Homo-oligomer: A and B are copies of this chain.
Amino acid sequence: MTLAQALFAPRAVALVGASGDAAKNSARPLRFLKKHGYAGRIVPINASRSQVLGERTFASLAEVPGAIDHAFIMTPGDSVERAIEECGARGVPVATIFSDGFADAGPEGAARQARLIARARELGVRVLGPNSMGLVDVPGRVALTVNAVLEMDALPAGTTSFVSHSGTMLGTVLSRGAARGLGFAKLVSVGNESDIGTGELVELLAEDPGTKVILLFLETVRDAARLAAAARKALAAGKPVVAYKLGRSRLGAALARSHTGALAGEDTALAAYFRDCGIMRVDQLETLIEIAPLLSGRTPPDLPRAARVAVVTTTGGGAASVVDRLGLCGIETVAPDSESPIIDLTMTATAGRYTAALEDLLASPQCDGVLAVVGSSAQFHPQLAVEPIVRSKRNAKPLAVFLTPHAERSLALLAGRGVAAFRTPEACADALAAYFAWRSPGRRAAAASAAWPPDLPRRGPLDEAQALKLLASLGIPVVEHAIAQPPGYAHAIPYPVAAKGLSAEVLHKTEAGAVCLGIADRPGLDREIRAMLERIPAARGILVQRMESGLAEAIVGYRDDPVVGPIVLVGAGGTLAEIYRDYALRVAPVSEEEAAVMIGEVKGFATLRGYRGLPRGDVRALAQAVAALSRLALVSGRPVAEAEINPLIVKREGVVAVDGLVVMKE
């Protein structure tokens, strides 16, 4: 029996703590399993009753005859541990734990959860939850959940599966889907993800013949590497993965030491992560519900330019409400062979004309996708309104439909024929934007690695001279510099110079008074060294650097993010990256080509690209430096927590790092 079988197709389920009070949550799984036609054996476990809701109960799992494939545990407090022991003793391969009070309830609960899972591993019991609302296999008629949405009499079956951190969202997705004729395959509430997590479930769904599109509702990412691998596997199997992720408005600021850390807030790092593993991201909740038909059977378009969408409509205002938002997403509206960007049939629509216009657009090489908008007729004449659309040949190109009135029958007719239909202009534009932004997963050269300079420690703090040595070893041009030592602090760098107190303990050198720029001559340097040593008595020497200038400054950063792993960042220098959040971020390492794309995303680098006749900077050398720093991800053991060049000076020819910060792990 595989994990997937035990989870989604158990021959017998035990309901531990099943209540006889039909009003209670813990009575629901029994009711729902029966109501929706579960074909296997249902075994309620309840020590204080001989039967619940007409089913014979057992006092404990130990007493149940025959094999149990899946236990659903609803008992409170310590009895969860007891139930897991019994699962182990009886050889139950999977337990779903609805009970809460574990990692969802502070550090003590987290410790309790860790103990529980350690024991479950010993016993060979796989665990979904705790704090999971359970799961549903709609075509398989397994409604093993406490989610009230199963009160619905019939659930439409489909080929879209759903994994969610929020149990409630199972109900949201199922009920809203049903109202517009969208069916589902498997739906799982992962709860605390103590054992079976989102990544492993996506792996199972990638192998599931009943699943064609995978939707995720994420509050966080707990198993980034596994989810990334699973998403790649799903894509390889022709199954798009789409995420709606909470937490866009919060920042992982507590984790930040360098600027890179502050900029790579949780959400921007996650956006880079999703992009890298080919997971589409949607902005609006209902997009997640409505997007599946748009994606089913499709692969990433990997468009090298702005997407072009053609529009046919029976209402100008309705089409404009979508087109306006597409424009905000950078998607162009085009009309092949016409002057207006929208083919508006408001006063002249017939089924024949609509069909002809639609067929023309779907066949045209001048657009990447088609938007069809239908007005009032969708409400009162659903068949007439959607017939031209469902008849159209729409394999080559995505087709999205927006209906302006309240028109559930039309939505259902379209859904039934596999056409993506949207209730709001915002979700419609969001879905098209997500599709066109969809990229194939980044390729990794598996054998690539980067060397660590043999004379640098692999643990403990590095001072700036060591940081510059590391940068140089990666192939990044660094400023001409020397370490001036007492008593004479001699050096051979031509004036003017910059001086910095060398100490691995001082992270923010400017604020600590450990930096002095533009020193004109030797007497000036002597004065600054004396002043600096008073402020930084522990300095092991003075780093003397040549003063450099160029056309612009950049910040280039690397970070081994605790959530998504190595990332690389490039942003406009000075205060621009911070004030305007003007930077681009990717999962590391990146190629020079990808680094060039990142540089193109940074608005402030307009000044390097010939803006207003300004001289052009060496964008290629900048891209090489970004790619070089990102190779820290390839050093064996990944000893670096964060590295930052701020600024990297960009010249007409070449770049030079004038300030390096490296923070090691530990």
Is A424 in contact with B328, judged by CB distance below 8 angstroms?
no
Is A379 in contact with B285, judged by CB distance below 8 angstroms?
no
Q: Does A388 contact B (CB under 8 A)?
A: no
Chain B positions within 8 Å of A320 at CB level: 166, 219, 246
Is A166 in contact with B347, judged by CB distance below 8 angstroms?
no
Q: Does A377 contact B (CB under 8 A)?
A: yes
- Cα(A604)–Cα(B604), bound, Å: 13
Chain B positions within 8 Å of A425 at CB level: 285
**Minimal beta-carbon separation of A552 from chain B (angstroms):** 11
Is A611 in contact with B575, judged by CB distance below 8 angstroms?
yes
Q: Does A392 contact B (CB under 8 A)?
A: no
Chain B positions within 8 Å of A346 at CB level: 168
Is B324 in contact with A247, judged by CB distance below 8 angstroms?
yes
Copies in the complex: 2
Is B217 in contact with A317, judged by CB distance below 8 angstroms?
yes
Q: Which of A172-180, A230-238, A593-601 contacts B (4 or more CB under 8 A)?
A: A172-180
Q: Which of A2-10, A143-151, A208-216, A495-503 contacts B (4 or more CB under 8 A)?
A: A143-151
Chain B positions within 8 Å of A168 at CB level: 315-318, 346, 375-376, 404
Within 8 A of B (CB), among A576-616: 579-580, 582, 603-604, 606-607, 611-613
Please name the residue on chain B nearest to A323 by beta carbon. Answer: B249
- Cα(A635)–Cα(B283), bound, Å: 47
Q: Does A380 contact B (CB under 8 A)?
A: yes
**Minimal beta-carbon separation of A275 from chain B (angstroms):** 20
Residue of B166, B347, B376, B611 near A316 (CB, 8 A) is: B166
Q: Does A327 contact B (CB under 8 A)?
A: yes
Q: Does A165 contact B (CB under 8 A)?
A: yes
Given known A-B contacts A168-B404, A316-B166, A149 and B379 have beta carbons under 8 A apart = yes
Residue of B172, B407, B424, B603 near A405 (CB, 8 A) is: B172
Chain B positions within 8 Å of A426 at CB level: 284-285, 426
Chain B positions within 8 Å of A575 at CB level: 606-607, 611-612
Q: Does A156 contact B (CB under 8 A)?
A: no
Within 8 A of B (CB), among A223-253: 246-250
- Cα(A564)–Cα(B522), bound, Å: 63
**Minimal beta-carbon separation of A605 from chain B (angstroms):** 9
Task: Bits for A398-442, please: 1 = Cβ < 8 Å to B, else 0.
Answer: 000000111100000000000000001110000000000000000
Task: Bits for A148-176, please: 1 = Cβ < 8 Å to B, else 0.
Answer: 11010000000000001111110110011
Task: Bits for A304-330, please: 1 = Cβ < 8 Å to B, else 0.
Answer: 000000000001111011001111100
Chain B positions within 8 Å of A317 at CB level: 164-169, 217, 219, 246
Chain B positions within 8 Å of A321 at CB level: 246, 285
Q: Does A644 contact B (CB under 8 A)?
A: no
Is B284 in contact with A176, judged by CB distance below 8 angstroms?
no
Interface size on A, residues (CB 8 A): 64
Is B148 in contact with A406, judged by CB distance below 8 angstroms?
no
Chain B positions within 8 Å of A285 at CB level: 321, 424-426
Is A166 in contact with B318, judged by CB distance below 8 angstroms?
yes
**Minimal beta-carbon separation of A189 from chain B (angstroms):** 10
Q: Does A463 contact B (CB under 8 A)?
A: no
Is B318 in contact with A172, judged by CB distance below 8 angstroms?
yes
Q: Does A553 contact B (CB under 8 A)?
A: no
- Cα(A217)–Cα(B318), bound, Å: 11
**Minimal beta-carbon separation of A327 from chain B (angstroms):** 3
Q: Does A137 contact B (CB under 8 A)?
A: no
Q: Does A286 contact B (CB under 8 A)?
A: yes
- Cα(A573)–Cα(B38), bound, Å: 69
**Minimal beta-carbon separation of A580 from chain B (angstroms):** 5
Q: Does A464 contact B (CB under 8 A)?
A: no
Is B404 in contact with A179, judged by CB distance below 8 angstroms?
no
- Cα(A286)–Cα(B166), bound, Å: 25
- Cα(A247)–Cα(B284), bound, Å: 21
Is A327 in contact with B249, judged by CB distance below 8 angstroms?
yes
- Cα(A377)–Cα(B407), bound, Å: 24
Q: Does A561 contact B (CB under 8 A)?
A: no
Chain B positions within 8 Å of A376 at CB level: 147-149, 151, 168, 171, 175
Q: Does A193 contact B (CB under 8 A)?
A: no
Chain B positions within 8 Å of A368 at CB level: none
Q: Does A100 contact B (CB under 8 A)?
A: yes
Chain B positions within 8 Å of A606 at CB level: 575, 579
Please name the residue on chain B nearest to A148 by beta carbon. Answer: B376
Chain B positions within 8 Å of A149 at CB level: 376, 379, 405
Is A406 in contact with B176, judged by CB distance below 8 angstroms?
yes
Chain B positions within 8 Å of A151 at CB level: 376, 379-380
Chain B positions within 8 Å of A379 at CB level: 148-149, 151, 171, 175
Within 8 A of B (CB), among A167-203: 167-169, 171-172, 175-176, 178-179
- Cα(A24)–Cα(B545), bound, Å: 83
Is B315 in contact with A166, judged by CB distance below 8 angstroms?
yes
Q: List 24 A-B contacts (CB under 8 A).
A: A148-B377, A149-B379, A149-B405, A166-B315, A166-B318, A167-B317, A168-B346, A168-B376, A168-B404, A169-B404, A171-B379, A175-B407, A176-B405, A219-B317, A246-B317, A246-B321, A284-B424, A284-B426, A285-B424, A426-B426, A575-B611, A575-B612, A580-B580, A580-B604
7 closest Cβ pairs, A-B complex: A166-B317, A249-B327, A148-B376, A168-B315, A175-B406, A175-B405, A179-B406
